[in-house]
Amino acid sequence: MADKTKSMSHVKHVPKDAQVIMSIMKDMGITDYEPKVINQLLEFTY
């Protein structure tokens, strides 16, 4: 549980929408991607 808390505090500075996209990608099994992919998907959703 402590490890999860540490990892969650690491992403505090990430906007909520980006966290949602990262969570969706994780659920789909996508774990290796460049950071700019999150920005591209954020632009696509809006």
Count: domains in the chain:
1
pLDDT at 2 over 60: no
Q: Is residue 35 part of a domain?
A: yes
- pLDDT value for 38: 96
Cα–Cα distance, 11 to 14 (Å, whole number)? 5
Q: Is residue 4 part of a domain?
A: no
Q: How confident is the model over 4-42, as pLDDT tens digits?
A: 545 555 556 989 999 999 999 999 999 999 999 999 999
Exposed, middle or buried by CB within 10 Å (0-12, 13-18, 19+), for 7? Answer: exposed
Q: Is residue 6 part of a domain?
A: no
pTM of the model: 0.68
Cα–Cα distance, 32 to 46 (Å, whole number)? 24
Residue bearing tokens 């998907």: 41
Phi, psi values for residue 35, rounded to 5°:
-55, -30
Residue 46: pLDDT band with limits 50, 70, 90 = confident
Q: Is residue 34 part of a domain?
A: yes
- pLDDT value for 8: 54
Cα–Cα distance, 35 to 45 (Å, whole number)? 16
Q: Is residue 1 part of a domain?
A: no
